Amino acid sequence: MTENLTIRVSTGVGAGQTTLAAFDAALAAAGVCDFNLVQLSSIIPAGSEVQEVKSKEQLQGRHGDVLYCVYARAHASLPGHEAWAGVAWSRHDDGSGAGLFVEHSGPSREQVSTDLTHSLDDLANTRGEPYHPEGRQIAGISCVTLPVCAVVVATFRCAGWKEIGRGR
């Protein structure tokens, strides 16, 4: 069983002169812009806790540390278009705290919300065991002139390069 793992979920939106700059602005708004992101798949370890937090309550680390996370991001660069991103999670009904994350992006809140629901249902069906939806975070932004990005990020752990070890 994983001890004391708190997974923090935050959201951010941003704009920039490029889609990459908009992504960075959205990461800054979510509180995680100075990390190197390592995207994980969709499994919540047993014994963990998931908390919805503001950006200032996100994991803290040094500039350039590695951040293990699940995230969804969406971009829009044409005026009038929207970018929506969402992360949802469910927990196994056995009380272990084990669970599943799903992440989606799209051009509307409704599409992202529907996709999150369907994916959680399908992941539970694949496993043939009961899971119950526990939470979701969705963020969106409309493009006015500059490219925009919406991000939802669930952070597991950050580590410095010395903790990870030297590459070979």
Buried b or exposed e, range 120-151, using 16+ CB within 10 angstroms: beebbeeeeeebebeebbbbbbebeebbbbbb
Regions of the chain with pLDDT less than 50: 1-2, 168
Total structural domains within the chain: 1
Chain segment 94-137, per-residue pLDDT in tens: 989 999 999 999 999 999 999 999 999 999 999 999 999 999 99
Within a domain: 65: yes
Within a domain: 55: yes
CATH number, domain with residue 84: 3.50.20.10
Type and span of the H or E element at 27: helix 19-30
Within a domain: 1: no
Within a domain: 80: yes
Within a domain: 104: yes
* Host domain of residue 89: 6-164
Give the model's pLDDT for residue 164.
79
Classified as helix, coil or strand, 127 is helix
The label of the residue with tokens 């991103």 reads 85
C-alpha distances out from residue 41 to 38, 101, 109, 161, 163, Å: 10, 8, 22, 21, 22
